[in-house]
Structure 1
């Protein structure tokens, strides 16, 4: 019954940032491990929001105007009694701007995660180790040497890019198929985004065990729909401008809690 009430784990996945807050409350020393990551996120965020976001907003503005101008050109030949459609066009313009704006915020937050997690990896690693030690009373680390460690980190990022591009191109072409293609591409795009989010925030705990990329992806899917709930709340947290400078470390810590509770003893 509890499984049904929690959406078969979906709501449980959403709860992990709040579980981390309880852990911080009982172990306040853990807060010291998020100071440097927050500072790193602030520096990276300044460059992203000033550069990428402002540039992206200009592109969004041009795209919106292009769409509205095409609609206006189609309405020229409409009869006079349909002049009320102009109000619909104005409403549509605002809807398009809001949707594209939200999409731009999500993309900017997503990129902030990618750069922030890489640059602050040592501190996130320490935070993850401490959380795992508290949660499981032990910690497993497979040493491979610094050179191989760096190489694995590079390969991890490259494989994520291949995953995004591979499915992104597929979903792009599917989006041209009326109705069915649009639905599949939208759901598929959200699925890949959620998978990448989970990979990023689970990786501190999983990489200590030197798990290969395919198995990491498989573990994300094995914990569905809890992993979907976790990705949803994290996507919301990283999509809020400026707030995400602070929430990303919480997502990393929450990911370690998720791995400890739902992966270590069940799938590894």
Structure 2
């Protein structure tokens, strides 16, 4: 940990602290909070329309993927259950992917917000101004890669969710851990890339400081499960991620943390 704090409970507390510091920062800068709402609102509208379409077409989708059930006497009941599973899966996927999609849409917005946070803490790192097109393409590419990893973990957890007892106890905990980790991956991408840290190295840094990573990501994931909270909380999450990278994580790649928060 390079002397930046303890593991375990201490690290979790540090991660949670950065969540509150980010929320506090946008509370003191309401103009930037409103600025950061724009991409999340756009993403929310897209997801609402997608879920409405899915909700009104689940029966058709269920029939399309279960042609083998055409001659079953209990076909309609079976397809209703399949339709419910499809919609629940779509809803879960929307929660897991909302941050990635919002960050991809809001690349220029969150880049400016993240930069403003760092300037308030003492200034940007040297050579911290990559071309917009490069940052945008990086955001799309990294979001796709991260989504692949999310699905790699989430699909088995979704299936295990139907196992009695385990599905109602162990699986939700594992789901929160996985989702919290990858939320932190997405939210810290901008400030870590600003320091010239590539995707593979970013994953290594976050795994090396896992307690802080989860302490930051899990509360945000749980908050994002509440309708509309993901929209209003996204600017604070972006601000908190910039603070966490600057204060806690930058030294993991041989870069000394630039400042400390009071």
Once the two structures are superposed, residues 118-170 of structure 1 have per-residue CA deviations (whole angstroms, 9 ceiling, x without a partner) of 11111111111111122244433445544543432232122112212333456
Distance 1:232 1:203 in 2: 17
Change (3 A) 1:41 1:176: closer
**What is the match of residue 46 of structure 1?**
45
8 Å CA contact 2:23–2:233 kept in 1: the answer is: no
8 Å CA contact 1:171–1:184 kept in 2: the answer is: no
Gaps of 5+ in 1: 64-96
- Normalization by structure 1: what TM-score? 0.67
Answer 1 or 2: which has greater helix percent: 1
Once the two structures are superposed, residues 46-96 of structure 1 have per-residue CA deviations (whole angstroms, 9 ceiling, x without a partner) of 33234316745996xxx9xxxxxxxxxxxxxxxxxxxxxxxxxxxxxxxxx
8 Å CA contact 1:110–1:239 kept in 2: the answer is: no
8 Å CA contact 2:16–2:216 kept in 1: the answer is: yes
**What is the match of residue 241 of structure 2?**
255
Alignment partner of 1:8: what SS?
helix
**Aligned mate of 1:166, from 152, 174, 187:** 152
**What is the match of residue 126 of structure 1?**
112
**Aligned mate of 1:140, from 126, 139, 146:** 126
Once the two structures are superposed, residues 207-252 of structure 1 have per-residue CA deviations (whole angstroms, 9 ceiling, x without a partner) of 2123221111111112221211111111122221123211111111
- Between structure 1 and structure 2, the one with the greater Rg is 1
Distance 1:172 1:112 in 2: 18
Gaps of 5+ in 2: 63-83, 256-262
Structure 1 residue 16 corresponds to structure 2 residue 41: no
**What is the match of residue 30 of structure 2?**
31
Change (3 A) 1:115 1:226: same
**What is the match of residue 225 of structure 1?**
211
Distance 2:130 2:23 in 1: 33
Distance 1:58 1:164 in 2: 25
Distance 1:247 1:57 in 2: 29
**Aligned mate of 2:94, from 93, 108, 120:** 108
Q: How many residues align?
A: 226
**Aligned mate of 1:211, from 197, 201, 207:** 197
8 Å CA contact 2:143–2:186 kept in 1: the answer is: no
Distance 1:8 1:54 in 2: 45
Deviates more, 1:234-243 or 1:180-189: 180-189
Change (3 A) 1:121 1:34: farther
8 Å CA contact 1:132–1:256 kept in 2: the answer is: yes
**What is the match of residue 69 of structure 2?**
none
- Normalization by structure 2: what TM-score? 0.68
Distance 1:247 1:167 in 2: 25
